Structure 1
Amino acid sequence: MSVAVDYELAGDLKIGQVGIANLRIRSLDVPRLIEEMRGRVQRAPKLFARAAVVIDFGGLTQAPDVDTARRLIDGLRDAGVLPVALAYGTSEIERLSEQLGLPLLAKFRASYERDGEAEAAPPPPAPRAKPEAKAKAEPAPTQPVPAQVAPTAPGLIQSTPVRSGQQVYAANRDLSVLTTIGAGAEVMADGSIHIYGPLRGRALAGAQGWEQARIFCREFHAELVAIAGRYKVLEDIPKELRGKAVQIWLEGEDLKIAALD
């Protein structure tokens, strides 16, 4: 008799634009969620120990009750992270945030809503054309603006080392770093990131959700890399890639890392 095995995680963890982690709850299995987070903290304590976390209940069909939410929050704290807010959602989530004494943050829902956005309502019927207008060519319909827009501003160039505790952010553009990114430092871009020196800190490309962003690095020792919120930490990266020139990109939901020839 075969036994079905559930390989899906109960929660998807994504890195937000300001370095705050977003925990999207997919299954309200509190012990499992706590153990998953405890494992993340144990694997990468420098990144996740006492990290600020926003809890997003938008993946559930209904909001949890207050007691269940409190058990989750207490358990996450015990696992080593610090829940600081709820992601904005329904009126029930708003009431829950008041009962828990936690703020609501809206921007963490944006990328998920783009990913799973329902089909737009059909446009209203066009007005009936007058007989004399039938011979005229009809204008092409306006195309909807895509949810993820590629950055178009000129790239930002960082020519001095990014030291521990520092952060460089290229809003709406690519970022080129000409020198070292030290351990504990962070670089982010809404576009792609090109690093011409050693990367020992964190690099987060596609920070506003652009999934076509890439990271190129000449010497790879990263603590964490992410594209559009999908991330890997050093412990998840094959040892043969460390110290190598690599490129990083998204393939579906999977973050790929490969050596550059």
Structure 2
Amino acid sequence: MAVANDYEQAGELKIGQVGIANLRVRTLDVEQLVREMHERVERAPKLFGRAAVIVDFSALARTPDQASARALIDGLRKAGVLPVALAYGTSDNEALAQALGLPVLAKFRAQYERAEPAPAAAPPPREPAPAAAPRKAAAPPKAEAARAPGRVQKAAVRSGQQLYAEDCDLTVLSAVGAGAEVIADGSIHVYGSLRGRALAGARGNVQARIFCREFHAELVAIAGHYKVLDDIPDQLRGKAVQVWLENDQLRLAALE
């Protein structure tokens, strides 16, 4: 049977601090969840490959049974990620974590943890309205922009933090500290010093670039092509630098 391409995802994945991802299970469809995770790992292996994942069942009406939860954990491992814990929940959730041999971590804080309004009650049925005169056809909606607006980070990205801009550029108005990681599907702009790792074009966008005002990066990458600090010419260290991909080679040059 053909599967529609516009289905709602069964799991909503968000990236938080210290390189841990949170998989919030919205529909307990193990096969679909595993397939989605496999696709994420294939699209951005440097971001999701062997990533530590917390599995969060709090969006479900009831805690899954042990067999279903174990099948999901095993499937996620085969998909290329490493489930490391369950998110904190009910006493049933704690018992499930024990049975699975996983710890329970406190409520994960990610972007989607903004308060979500409860779904509105369905309005009462209304009498059918009388037929109206035909109206002019509405103008077709304008095509949506190909890319989402860029993500802007005002505060410094500190050691151990990971920041990911999905389907857009990332602009950091401050510094990226040593041991921090900034990742974007588009380009990365750092208006302070770049001392951590910067990975642009995470889904293979070879047009992505990296810009920074003070270059001390431990590692830079565009669409999977990497250079580490030891590969960077000494004359570029501490300078304003741009990084781009040309003929499958990573290029670096000082900004004028």
Which one of the candidate residues 202, 206, 209 is aligned to 1:243? 209
Matches within 5 A, 1:35-74: 35-74=35-74
Contact 1:21 1:51 (C-alpha < 8 Å) held by counterparts: yes
Q: Is the 8 A contact 2:86 2:102 kept in 1?
A: yes
Instruction: Tell me the distance in 2 between the aligned counterparts of 1:9 and 1:245.
Output: 33
For residue 76 of structure 1, report the CA deviation from its aligned partner: 0.4
1:176 and 2:174 are equivalent in the alignment: yes
Name the amino acid aligned to 2:92.
E
Moved segments of 4+, more than 6 Å: 197-201
In the aligned structure 2, how far is the partner of 1:201 from the partner of 1:30? 36
| 8 A Cα contact 2:18 2:161, kept in partner | no
Q: 1:28 — aligned with what? A: 28
The answer on whether the counterparts of 1:21 and 1:54 sit within 8 Å (CA) in structure 2 is yes
Q: Which residue of 2 aligns with 1:13?
A: 13
Contact map agreement 1:176 1:194 (CA 8 A) in 2: no
Structure 1 residues 48 and 200, CA gap change in structure 2 (3 angstroms): farther
| Cα distance change of structure 1 residues 185 and 18 upon mapping to structure 2, 3 Å threshold | closer
Q: Alpha-carbon deviation of 1:11?
A: 0.5
Assess, with a 3 A threshold, how the Cα gap between structure 1 residues 75 and 168 changes in structure 2: closer, same or farther.
closer
The count of aligned residue pairs is: 164
Gaps of 5+ in 1: 119-153, 159-165, 203-221, 225-232, 247-261
Q: How many angstroms apart in 1 are the aligned matches of 2:107 and 2:38? A: 26
- Structure 2 segments unaligned to the other structure (5+ residues): 119-153, 163-171, 213-256
Instruction: Encode CA deviations 1:185-220: one digit per residue, 9 max, x unaligned.
Output: 5159xxxx9713797976xxxxxxxxxxxxxxxxxx
CA distance 1:155–1:43, shift in 2 (3 Å): closer
Query: 2:13, 2:22 within 8 Å by CA — same for their partners in 1?
Result: yes
How has the CA–CA distance of structure 1 residues 243 and 59 changed in structure 2, closer, same or farther, with 3 Å as cutoff?
same
Deviation by residue 1:234-253 (Cα, 9 ceiling, x = unmatched): 2175x54x22769xxxxxxx
CA RMSD of aligned residues (A): 4.0
The 3-state SS of whatever aligns with 2:74 is helix
Match of 2:84 in 1: 84
Deviations 1:51-71 (A, max 9, x none): 110000011111100000000
**What is the deviation of 1:37?**
0.6
Separation in 1 of the partners of 2:56 and 2:161?
27
Deviation digits for residues 28-77 of structure 1 (CA, Å, limit 9, x no counterpart): 11011001111111111122111110000011111100000000000000
C-alpha separation in 2, matches of 1:24 and 1:157: 24
| 1:114 CA drift (Å) | 3.6
